[in-house]
Amino acid sequence: MYQDNIIVNYEGKPAYSIIFDKDYSALSEALSDIGLQNKRFMIISDSNVGSIYLYDLIQLIKPIARSVKSITFEAGENSKNLDTVKMVYKSLIDNKFDRKDIIIALGGGVTGDLAGFAAATYLRGIGFIQLPTTLLAMADSSIGGKTGVDFMAYKNMIGAFHQPKLVYMNLSTLNTLPKRQFNAGMSEIIKHGLIKDADFYTWLSKNLNDIKALDYEILKQMVIRSTEIKKNVVENDPKEQGDRALLNFGHTIGHAIEKLKDFSLLHGECIAIGTVAAAYISYKRGFISKDELYRIINLIKACDLPVSVSSICAEDIYNTTRLDKKMQSDKIKFILLKEIGNSIIDTSVSKEEMLEAIEFILE
């Protein structure tokens, strides 16, 4: 029986649950509770996660399913494209999936975004379930219905809003997550504290040793609070017409670095660097103190995340930000900290301010 769960609302009505558990033993019950018995299920996973969890998951779901099929793609951001989506479409067609059948995303952010986009567009939309297995996906990408794929190395350029029917977080999957991937997820969790909850940000600093030791109860507290922050933002602005853009703190420069480094850095690593740049502009604007800026930098460093980048130039980073999908009327919607725990959307950040911040993060 699952005990820890949160309900996410969409347009004022309950849309789906987020369940936090120590394993997948209650997944079949959770699926049955929302009427998903006797369906065809297509589990989409990558080559890393599939090799660990796919077989057991199929056995768990089989008793309630009409059939269970699976697709495994090569792990990594380079698979998050329309070619992989075409492979998913073909398998869905070959296995006669209809609008009442279900896609299950088993994996991290790449898997969730890709599987969600396939679900959003196949037959104009079928149901899907998120089973996030990375800290980044649990804290951020599995919640809120954003789906999409990259196009010609432009991050999430093709996508759709499509809400899942369920998000089921098996927190024990974090024990099999490579340390670098776990650290990358911490950047999104730090972000949530910085933009919305100063007390949570302080809690992260105080509990960092237990977090890095993968203490189950501490991890559960951390993921649940981070999830609550994301839930509250997306409920108030489900399609990013306003405050949901606050979740892009650190992403404007972070995404540019990710592209220019040809995805050799993980998404969360790039967001960590972008966070430092955004915090620097916030400091130069007088919103946060120099001490607060360096506390942010030191927390990111303590999570074994990068705070600087090399082998790219400031002008290239700036020019790449101009291609960001979050541009509005030829202006960048930059997210700044008004104070720790309080963020704002600002379209007045100048090229000079951005270049100075970029220089600050260059090695």
Which of 146, 162, 165, 196 does the annotation list as catalytic?
146
What 3-state DSSP class applies to 19? Answer: strand
Beta bridge partner(s), residue 271: none
Which of 77, 240, 258, 269 does the annotation list as catalytic?
240
Which of 192, 196, 251, 259 does the annotation list as catalytic?
251
> 């379209």: which residue's tokens?
347
Q: Report which of 234, 200, 180, 203 is spatially closest to residue 341, judged by C-alpha positions.
A: 200
User: Could you confirm whether 267 is annotated as catalytic?
Assistant: yes
Where helices occur in 62-127 by DSSP H, the ranges are 82-94, 109-121
Which of 124, 206, 352, 363 does the annotation list as catalytic?
124
User: Could you confirm whether 217 is annotated as catalytic?
Assistant: no
User: Could you confirm whether 240 is annotated as catalytic?
Assistant: yes
Which of 39, 40, 191, 230 does the annotation list as catalytic?
230
Distance, CA of 163 to CA of 233 (rounded, Å)? 15
Kindly give, in sequence order, each residue whose CB lies less than 8 Å from that of residue 348, ignoring residues fewer than 6 positions away.
none
Which of 244, 258, 269, 333 does the annotation list as catalytic?
244
**Which value, in Å, is the radius of gyration of the alpha carbons in the chain?**
20
User: Could you confirm whether 192 is annotated as catalytic?
Assistant: no
What 3-state DSSP class applies to 228? Answer: helix
User: Could you confirm whether 298 is annotated as catalytic?
Assistant: no
Is residue 41 within 8 A of residue 67, CB to CB? The reply is yes
User: Could you confirm whether 244 is annotated as catalytic?
Assistant: yes
Distance, CA of 256 to CA of 251 (rounded, Å)? 8
Which of 188, 191, 196, 225 does the annotation list as catalytic?
188
Which of 255, 258, 259, 269 does the annotation list as catalytic?
255
DSSP for 286-306, written as a single string: TSS-HHHHHHHHHHHHHTT--
User: Could you confirm whether 99 is annotated as catalytic?
Assistant: no
Q: Active-site positions?
A: 124, 146, 188, 230, 240, 244, 248, 251, 255, 267
